[in-house]
Structure 1
Amino acid sequence: MLHGHGDDRYKYDKEIVADFSTNVWYGGEPAGLKEHVFEHWEKINRYPEVIGESLRVKIANHEQLPAEQILVSSGTTESIYLIAQLFAGKRTTIVTPAFSEYEDACNMYDHQLSFLSWQEALEQPRLKSDLVFICSPNNPTGKTFPDLEFWMRLNRQCVFVIDEAFIDFTLTASSYISLIEQFSNLIIMRSLTKAYAIPGLRLGFMAGHSDMMERLISIKQPWTVNTIALAAGEFIYDHYEKNQLPLQQLLADKIDFVEKLKLNEVIQIEESETHFFLAKTLIRNAAQLKLFLIENHGILIRDASNFRNLTRQHFRLATLSPDKNQLLINALEEWKKLYY
């Protein structure tokens, strides 16, 4: 899916004053990162490291893994397409609702696709698949999966691809990256663009058994991660402790935001364990609500109707600062008065 994601503000002439459509941290990049990147500007006159070897070592040291178990990528999307290519033609299950790129990448490489709802997956069935994509914390619901370790043990023949792009935005779950030594059928995908607010640079990594990473390297294009993105990644890990999200405050703001939204009778909020969450408009549909908010308030939301298993009424919101959250609360009250 080339279009239909969040943060599509470039499509609109209207100035966007509050963007709830993207689940990237709203506070911007870490202090000092911009200056660091420009200090390394002269490196753009040379090719970057072929597979980001220096950053690979820094990530591996941080995660207490051998470097051979890490592969730097141009964001999670490159990871998804590489995995789909490696397992071309295989039987693949996608736990839904889910990021559309799992399905798109698998279709590109002729996978035999089946879909499992989140509720069905919680029953942890025995699988007939070769590969499973599951996002935890889930995009778009913000929910975390309670016991993936048991499910992986039950299905040793199946490679589990766990997308942890939003693991930095929850207090109810920890990364499964520590299980890599125990499970050869595990690939973790991580993003460095969400928590550090650098989605325009495209940066992430995969972690897994060294044999699996070597197989992925064998089909990876060279130089996919540019010099500036690599410099940003090295800065992040060199200053890791100083650059973490104010997560407690962000989640407290989310609780306050949700409680106020629940006072609106035409908006239904779904529970989540992250700073973002699903909602439904009980009048008209999400596409109409999105246009109303853009045209009348300069507010952008994520129309979530194109997620498999969701409805035309679903939209996704990310928590912003309290003052911007209030802008949306007020605008939704106006939506209610106009159409309810």
Structure 2
Amino acid sequence: MLHGHGDDSYRHSSTIIADFSTNVWYGGEPKGLKEHLFSQWATINRYPEVVAESLVQKVASHHGIKPEQVLVNSGTTESIYLLAQAFAGRKTTIVVPAFAEYEDACRMHNHELTFMPWNALADLPPLISDLVFICNPNNPTGATFAQLAAWISQNPKTLFVVDEAFIDFTVGLPTMIAELSWYDNLVVMHSMTKAYAIPGLRLGYLVGTPELIERLKALKQPWTVNTMALEAGKFIFDQYDSIQLPVRQLLADKDDFVADLRENKAFRVYNSETHFFLAETRTGTAAALKQFLIKQHGLLIRDASNFRGLGKGHFRVATLAPETNQRLINALAEWKS
């Protein structure tokens, strides 16, 4: 899906005052990162490291794993497409609703697809698939699945691709990277763009068994991680303890935001364990609501109707600063469909 994601303000002629459509941290990049990148400007005169070797070392050290278990990529999307290519033609299950690129990448490489609704996970269903893609916390709902390790254990012949792009926006959900020593049917994808507000640099990594990493390297193009993204990644791990998000305050703001939105009976607002959440208009469509908010108020939401399993009224909203959230609350009070 080339289009149909959030953060598409560049496609609208109206001025966007506040963007609720993207689930990237609204506070901007870590302090000092811009200055660091400017200080490294001369490095763009040379090719970057072929597979981001120096950042691989930092990722491995941070997580207490071997460098041979890490592959740094140009965002999680590259990780997804590499995995789909490596297992071309396999039987694959996608837990939905989900990020559209899982399905798009698998279809590109002729996977035999089945789709499992998120609410079926409670029963830890048995799998006959070769792979399963699951986003935990889920995008677009913000739901989390605490029994993932048990599900992996019960399905040893299925490779679990766990997308943890939004784990930095939760409290109490441990990364599955710690489980790699127990399960060889697990690969975990991490994004470095959401929590550190650098999606334009495209940076992420995946971890798995050394055998899987070698299989993916055989398919990977050289130099996909540019020099500035590489430097940003190293800066983040070097400054890690001092640049973490104020997650508890962000989630408290989300709770207040949701509580206020639920006062408006024209909308249904779903529970979420992250800073973003799913909502549904009871009148009209999300597409019409999006256009109303853009044209009348300069506010952008994510029309979520194109997520498999969702309807025409679903939209996704990310929490911004409280005073900005109030703008959306006030604007939605005017929605008549």
- What TM-score results when the alignment is normalised by the length of structure 2? 0.99
Deviations along 1:256-306, one digit per CA (max 9) or x if unpaired, are 101100110101100000000000000101000000000000000000000
Unaligned runs of at least 5 residues, structure 2: none
- 1:162 and 1:186 map into 2 onto residues whose CA distance is 8
Aligned structure 1 segments of 4 or more residues deviating by more than 3 angstroms: none
Query: Which 10-residue stretch deviates more, 167-176 or 192-201?
Result: 167-176
Match of 1:62 in 2: 62
Deviations along 1:37-62, one digit per CA (max 9) or x if unpaired, are 11111111110000000000001100
- 2:215 and 2:122 map into 1 onto residues whose CA distance is 30
Unaligned runs of at least 5 residues, structure 1: none
Match of 1:138 in 2: 138
Match of 1:323 in 2: 323
Tell me the percent identity.
61
Whether the aligned pair in 2 keeps the contact of 1:172 and 1:273 (CA below 8 Å) is no
In the TM superposition, residue 66 of structure 1 has moved relative to its aligned partner by: 0.7
Match of 1:231 in 2: 231
Whether the aligned pair in 2 keeps the contact of 1:164 and 1:189 (CA below 8 Å) is yes
Q: Secondary structure at the match of 1:22?
A: coil
Match of 1:19 in 2: 19
- 1:254 and 1:121 map into 2 onto residues whose CA distance is 25
Match of 1:41 in 2: 41
Match of 1:252 in 2: 252
- 1:153 and 1:225 map into 2 onto residues whose CA distance is 34
Match of 1:94 in 2: 94
Q: Is residue 270 from structure 1 mapped to residue 307 from structure 2 by the alignment?
A: no
Whether the aligned pair in 2 keeps the contact of 1:144 and 1:172 (CA below 8 Å) is no
Alignment-mate amino acid for residue 17 of structure 2: V
- 2:210 and 2:181 map into 1 onto residues whose CA distance is 10
In the TM superposition, residue 247 of structure 1 has moved relative to its aligned partner by: 0.4
Number of residue equivalences? 337
Match of 1:168 in 2: 168
- 2:198 and 2:273 map into 1 onto residues whose CA distance is 23
- What TM-score results when the alignment is normalised by the length of structure 1? 0.98
In the TM superposition, residue 248 of structure 1 has moved relative to its aligned partner by: 0.8
- C-alpha RMSD of the superposition: 0.6
In the TM superposition, residue 107 of structure 1 has moved relative to its aligned partner by: 0.2
Alignment-mate amino acid for residue 308 of structure 2: R
Q: Secondary structure at the match of 2:274?
A: coil
Deviations along 1:146-203, one digit per CA (max 9) or x if unpaired, are 2111111111000000000000001131101001111110000000000000000000
Match of 1:114 in 2: 114
Match of 1:334 in 2: 334
In the TM superposition, residue 4 of structure 1 has moved relative to its aligned partner by: 0.2
- 2:66 and 2:115 map into 1 onto residues whose CA distance is 34
Match of 1:6 in 2: 6
In the TM superposition, residue 71 of structure 1 has moved relative to its aligned partner by: 0.6
- 1:65 and 1:279 map into 2 onto residues whose CA distance is 39
In the TM superposition, residue 135 of structure 1 has moved relative to its aligned partner by: 0.3
In the TM superposition, residue 313 of structure 1 has moved relative to its aligned partner by: 0.3
Match of 1:313 in 2: 313
Match of 1:71 in 2: 71
- 1:60 and 1:326 map into 2 onto residues whose CA distance is 42
- 1:227 and 1:277 map into 2 onto residues whose CA distance is 34
Deviations along 1:48-103, one digit per CA (max 9) or x if unpaired, are 00000000000110001111111101000000000000000000000000000000
In the TM superposition, residue 140 of structure 1 has moved relative to its aligned partner by: 0.2
- 1:226 and 1:181 map into 2 onto residues whose CA distance is 31
Whether the aligned pair in 2 keeps the contact of 1:297 and 1:331 (CA below 8 Å) is yes
- 2:121 and 2:5 map into 1 onto residues whose CA distance is 25
Match of 2:82 in 1: 82
Deviations along 1:98-125, one digit per CA (max 9) or x if unpaired, are 0000000000000000000001122111
- 1:193 and 1:290 map into 2 onto residues whose CA distance is 25
